[in-house]
Amino acid sequence: MSHDAMPHPALSRRSQALSGRVRVPGDKSISHRSLMFGGLASGETRITGLLEGEDVLRTADAMRAMGALIERQGDSWVIRGTGNGCLLEPEAPLDFGNAGTGARLTMGLVGTYEMTTRFVGDASLSKRPMGRVLDSLRQMGTQVLEAEAGNRLPITLRGPKHAAPITYRVPMASAQVKSAVLLAGLNTPGITTVIEPVMTRDHTEKMLAGFGAEIEVEKDAEGARHIRIKGQGDLKGQTIAVPGDPSSAAFPLVAALLVPGSDLTIQNVLMNPTRTGLILTLQEMGAEIELMNRRDAGGEEVADLRVRSSKLKGVTVPPERAPSMIDEYPVLAVAASFAEGETVMLGLEELRVKESDRLAAVAAGLKANGIDCTEGDASLSVRGRPDGKGFGGGTVATHLDHRIAMAFLVLGLATERPVTIDDASMIATSFPEFMELMTGLGATIEQRGEAG
């Protein structure tokens, strides 16, 4: 399954019990960062468990274009980095495809280099706001030589001779915005400080410390995190085992909850507390999810998740939980469709600027399949029905969004009538094995001929 211009529709049908033991691919956030930091550090970095999805492979290409040597050797990815401060000017534009994380973090990484770098992406990425990253870079001295209206791609950056260290308060809950400033700080003299009022995933901070960066985190009286990084230090290559992606595990997990009689185990899933909001929410809804064999794996907690089909009830998901489950709302909305009563999800403003406007895409997809929901400006309410009677039969517009595609294929495994999605090709950006893994567990998913 590859991401090309032709849409590839798919359809899922009510399935028999799902069972088995599976592993999901490596965490996408950690995979991007492993390649970036490995590509930047001096010496060798070895990565196992890397997500080999299209998004992450774009980051590998970008790092290669700036001087890193990156190759796959058996099960490992081996990198020889340039050394901090020694990236080379790329000869051609960096094409990040569908990947917001790759594009935004790399803008930070190169923004303080005195070189010219052009960023391009696909139709979805070209609609996404980049001003949130350019704002801090401009303060550090980066010139934006080219940008489409509203600070969108294609964008060309040129860094200053001497970047200025700044103190930057992140205006929205975004790990990408935080990370871009910290990465810009790596090539800036002195201390760059990021103030993060609402904590988001902390992989950049943790991993940079592992690579030897001088970075410290302190909480103030209001609970805001102050992250200080000292620029122009040495980074040294590391050995990294990427744990399974909780955002990918979410799909078989919710499928098992909804398909009667299911019992499955998803092994080696990242349990970093900035990423586990979905599990907490589903447990509050009554889901039987057992965290087994909790252990430390290279500085991150991982666990095996045993999931059994469960009766769910509606809950209110508070806005402060959003950063720890930001990519999981589409599939939570699917779970909520089968819960008794109403599920109210609050604080969803960031969903509007993901690979698609996910709030609108989810509400439209649910309605197309007979599910009662209300879309607010930054909220979604779903009034579920455990019997799912009359659900399904609709076609969902995925808007080049992998998580919309996977969430609605999960919906169709439990609805009375099948659910069709207009395009499954984007699934390859984050979870290339999705179809095989799900059908291997017993799910009925059919890929259709090309549309049109």
Other beta carbons within 10 Å of 317: 26
The two tokens of residue 436 are 């095989």
Other beta carbons within 10 Å of 449: 7
Full strand arrangement of the beta sheet holding 316-317: 316-317, 341-346, 379-384, 372-375
Note if the bond before 154 is cis, omega within 30 degrees. yes
Say how many residues touch ligand S3P, by CB under 6 A: 10
- 429 near ligand S3P, judged by CB under 6 A: no
327 is catalytic: yes
Of the two residues 29 and 187, which places its CB atom closer to ligand S3P in the complex? 29
Q: At closest approach, how far in Å is the CB of 30 from ligand S3P? A: 8
How is 212-279 classified by DSSP, letter by letter? Answer: T--EEEEE-TTS-EEEEEETT---B--EEEPPBPHHHHHHHHHHHHHSTT-EEEEEEEE--TTS-HHH
* Whole-angstrom distance, CA of residue 55 vs CA of residue 377: 29
- 272 near ligand S3P, judged by CB under 6 A: no
User: Angle at which helices 175-185 and 203-210 pack, to 10 degrees?
Assistant: 30
Other beta carbons within 10 Å of 195: 17
User: Angle at which helices 277-284 and 246-258 pack, to 10 degrees?
Assistant: 20
Q: At closest approach, how far in Å is the CB of 395 from ligand S3P? A: 26
Q: At closest approach, how far in Å is the CB of 243 from ligand S3P? A: 14
Q: At closest approach, how far in Å is the CB of 101 from ligand S3P? A: 4
**H/E element holding 30?**
helix 28-40
* Selected catalytic residue, list 27, 245, 304, 327: 327
- 98 near ligand S3P, judged by CB under 6 A: no
* Whole-angstrom distance, CA of residue 333 vs CA of residue 363: 9
Q: At closest approach, how far in Å is the CB of 107 from ligand S3P? A: 13
Of the two residues 18 and 155, which places its CB atom closer to ligand S3P in the complex? 155
- 422 near ligand S3P, judged by CB under 6 A: no
Residue 210, helix vs strand vs coil: helix
* Whole-angstrom distance, CA of residue 82 vs CA of residue 38: 9
The two tokens of residue 161 are 């001779």
- 278 near ligand S3P, judged by CB under 6 A: no
Binding string, residues 340-379; x marks residues near ligand S3P by CB under 6 A = ----------x-----------------------------
Q: At closest approach, how far in Å is the CB of 327 from ligand S3P? A: 5
Q: Which of residues 161-190 bind ligand S3P (CB under 6 A)?
A: 174-176, 179
Binding string, residues 297-326; x marks residues near ligand S3P by CB under 6 A = -----------------------------x
Of the two residues 44 and 301, which places its CB atom closer to ligand S3P in the complex? 301
Binding string, residues 195-234; x marks residues near ligand S3P by CB under 6 A = ------x---------------------------------
- 327 near ligand S3P, judged by CB under 6 A: yes
Q: At closest approach, how far in Å is the CB of 21 from ligand S3P? A: 26
- 29 near ligand S3P, judged by CB under 6 A: yes
* Whole-angstrom distance, CA of residue 42 vs CA of residue 80: 7
Of the two residues 14 and 402, which places its CB atom closer to ligand S3P in the complex? 402
- 380 near ligand S3P, judged by CB under 6 A: no
- Rule CB under 6 A: which residues touch ligand S3P? 29, 101, 174-176, 179, 201, 326-327, 350
Catalytic residues, by residue number, are: 327
